[in-house]
Amino acid sequence: MTVSAPVTHPLDVPTAIQQRRSIKTFKPDPIPPELLQQLIELTVAAPSSFNLQDWQIIVVQDPDQRAALTAASWNQSQIAQAPATFVFATQTTSWSRDLEEICDIGLATGAWTEATAGYFKSSVPKFQESLGEKQREYGIKDAMIAATHLVLAAESLGLSTCFMNGWIEDQVKAVIGAAGQEDLAIAVLVPVGYAAEPRKNPGRLPLARNVSVNRLGTAYPG
């Protein structure tokens, strides 16, 4: 096990996007605490609907917890190998707890006026309640955007990742201490660490297959 030196020249965004691969094997090397802190800060710099930040992010580092999470993920070994796995969840009711504070912070930064904060305080509860069961979907969108920030930030800073959908939700919730918590939904798991071996780019479909101009089916010529 080695401790990696901090990256002094992070990759630019286009390079990080092109270079990123879903890595399936990780070295046991730990992520330096200050780098982990930087990753977490870049993750929560993600935007969210109304700035609600309705994600719950659980950074699983304990070896027993990682083993339990692996078992909850069809024994996919990247979780046991990577020094940290980020569990991205969304708490669909967190807006009711956080809205006041979110508005106070927006006012304190000068980004929002009293009028904006007042509008949010009256509109957000109505909007969120009108979503009904779709609150889960909206929360998962926010959590996925945060996870994408993590993945690209990690790549830029010399780390590797793997988005993971292959897990059993109830089991993941039990591992993170949220068994039976109905207002919590798991979005995605992302192991983070130093790649043990590279992976090739499996490629993408031609742009004209799934990119359209103006109307669905008017293929983008590429």
Ligand X SMILES: Cc1cc2nc3c(=O)[nH]c(=O)nc-3n(C[C@H](O)[C@H](O)[C@H](O)COP(=O)(O)O)c2cc1C
**Residues 10-49, interacting with ligand X (CB under 6 A):** 21-22, 24
Provide the minimum distance between the beta carbon of 114 and ligand X in the complex, in angstroms, as a whole number: 40
32 C-beta neighbours (distance < 10 Å), count: 13
Cβ atoms of residues 192 and 160 within 8 Å: yes
Residue with tokens 């200050």, as numbered in its chain: 34
Provide the minimum distance between the beta carbon of 109 and ligand X in the complex, in angstroms, as a whole number: 32
Provide the minimum distance between the beta carbon of 1 and ligand X in the complex, in angstroms, as a whole number: 23
Provide the minimum distance between the beta carbon of 74 and ligand X in the complex, in angstroms, as a whole number: 8
**DSSP H helical ranges for the chain:** 13-19, 33-43, 63-71, 78-81, 94-109, 114-131, 134-156, 169-175, 207-210
In the shown chain, the binding pattern of residues 93 to 132 toward ligand X, with x for contact by CB under 6 A and - for none, equals: ----------------------------------------
* Single residue of 58, 164, 184, 185 touching ligand X by CB under 6 A: 164
Q: Does 135 bind ligand X (CB under 6 A)?
A: no
Query: What does the H/E/C string look like for 150-205?
Result: HHHHHHHCCCEECCECCCCHHHHHHHCCCCCCCCEEEEEEEEEECECCCCCCCCCC
Question: Rounded distance, CA 221 to CA 219, Å?
Answer: 6
**Residues 184-203, interacting with ligand X (CB under 6 A):** 188, 199, 201-202
Question: Rounded distance, CA 84 to CA 194, Å?
Answer: 10
1 C-beta neighbours (distance < 10 Å), count: 7
- Nearer to ligand X among residue 52 and residue 172 (C-beta): 172
In the shown chain, the binding pattern of residues 74 to 93 toward ligand X, with x for contact by CB under 6 A and - for none, equals: --x-----------------
Provide the minimum distance between the beta carbon of 188 and ligand X in the complex, in angstroms, as a whole number: 6
- Nearer to ligand X among residue 20 and residue 39 (C-beta): 20
In this structure, are strands 160-161 and 55-60 parallel, antiparallel, or unpaired? unpaired
Question: Rounded distance, CA 137 to CA 82, Å?
Answer: 28
Cβ-closest position to ligand X: 166
Q: How many residues bind ligand X (CB under 6 A)?
A: 13
Provide the minimum distance between the beta carbon of 207 and ligand X in the complex, in angstroms, as a whole number: 16
In the DSSP assignment, the letter for residue 217 is: T
Q: Which residues bind ligand X (CB under 6 A)?
A: 21-22, 24, 76, 162-166, 188, 199, 201-202
